[in-house]
């Protein structure tokens, strides 16, 4: 049956169908391979495992990007702060952030600073060469997106956000950003742009856990718990990355390259 199909259709027709089939598969692969990525927590359970045993999922389309936190174990009554490196400049750690302890839990979590507790501050250090410019504070009832800035009360620049269920047991919390909102944090939809990030679990009173998204080392302030607490430190050794869906011209280059390779094979066989 295979010989009959080739003879009847002709080698030219056979190759044409093959090229069409491979081209379609290449386009589908180019799009689907970057449609969604899952990033697992570091396995730590200092706060019961909501982040350490959970994961962060990022997906995008040509017009939007969605960030979803999926609860591991325990409850989500604290904040997962996702720090983003999307453009040039930024901060190497959280030591200059003091917008905390003023009644806004999200700002306190991002800063790691509590002006009413001593004051106290737990410092998160970002991977070398990857300074951060933005942060996403994921709470069980709200997700807020901020521009990072040094200073005290209200220095962090609130950009936009999305209400959540408010249920501590999740199972997930999510925000979908429009192309316009993406541009507010240095991202261009449908561009093939790569950005970098890390995530840290911390309470709204700035008590930091040892649970993270991304490789890290947590040092307690007093050695009595595995968590960084109010004054301990957390150092990220390397960032995670995500690449946005490339624009159609980028996919076309993949297809052109594939067609060129097929042409080379045909010439060699001839």
Residues 178 and 52: their CA atoms lie apart, in Å, by 29
Q: What is the pLDDT of residue 143?
A: 98
pLDDT tens readout for residues 190-246: 999 999 999 999 999 999 999 999 999 999 988 779 999 999 999 999 999 999 999
pLDDT tens readout for residues 66-97: 999 999 999 999 999 999 999 999 999 999 99
| Bridge pairing between strands 233-236 and 123-125 | parallel
pTM of the entire predicted model: 0.82
Average pLDDT over residues 263-269: 53
> Quick one: pLDDT band at residue 14, thresholds 50, 70, 90?
very low
Domain boundaries, the chain: 2-31+249-269, 36-245
> Quick one: pLDDT band at residue 31, thresholds 50, 70, 90?
very low
pLDDT tens readout for residues 101-160: 999 999 999 999 999 888 999 999 999 999 999 999 999 999 999 999 999 999 999 999
> Quick one: pLDDT band at residue 2, thresholds 50, 70, 90?
very low
Asked if residue 129 lies in contact with residue 115, where contact means CB atoms within 8 angstroms, the answer is no
Query: Distance from CA of residue 247 to its chain's centroid?
Result: 20
Q: Which helix or strand (DSSP H or E) is residue 261 part of? A: helix 248-269
């Amino acid at each position: 049956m295979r010989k009959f199909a080739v003879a009847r259709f002709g080698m030219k027709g056979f190759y044409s169908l093959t090229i069409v089939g491979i081209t379609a598969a290449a386009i589908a692969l180019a799009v689907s391979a970057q449609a969604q990525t899952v990033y697992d927590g570091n396995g730590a359970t200092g706060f019961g495992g909501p982040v350490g045993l959970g994961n962060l999922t990022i997906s995008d389309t040509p017009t939007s990007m969605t960030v979803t936190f999926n609860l591991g174990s325990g409850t989500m009554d604290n904040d997962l702060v996702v720090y983003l490196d999307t453009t040039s400049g930024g901060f190497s750690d959280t030591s200059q952030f003091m917008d905390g302890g003023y009644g806004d839990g999200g700002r306190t979590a991002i800063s790691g600073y509590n002006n009413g507790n001593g004051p106290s501050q737990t410092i998160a250090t970002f991977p070398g060469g990857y300074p951060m410019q933005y942060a996403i504070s994921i709470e069980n009832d709200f997700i807020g997106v901020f521009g990072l800035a040094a200073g005290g009360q209200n220095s962090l620049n609130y950009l936009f956000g999305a209400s959540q269920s408010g249920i501590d047991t999740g199972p997930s919390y999510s925000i979908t950003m429009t192309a316009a909102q993406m541009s507010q944090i240095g991202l261009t939809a449908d561009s093939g742009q790569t950005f970098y990030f890390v995530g840290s679990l911390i309470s709204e009173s700035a008590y930091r856990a040892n649970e993270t998204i991304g490789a890290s080392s947590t040092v307690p302030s007093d050695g009595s718990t595995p968590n960084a607490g109010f004054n301990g430190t957390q150092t990220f050794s390397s960032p995670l990355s995500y690449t946005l869906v490339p624009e159609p011209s980028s996919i076309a280059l993949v297809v052109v390259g594939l067609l060129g390779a097929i042409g080379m094979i045909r010439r060699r066989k001839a």
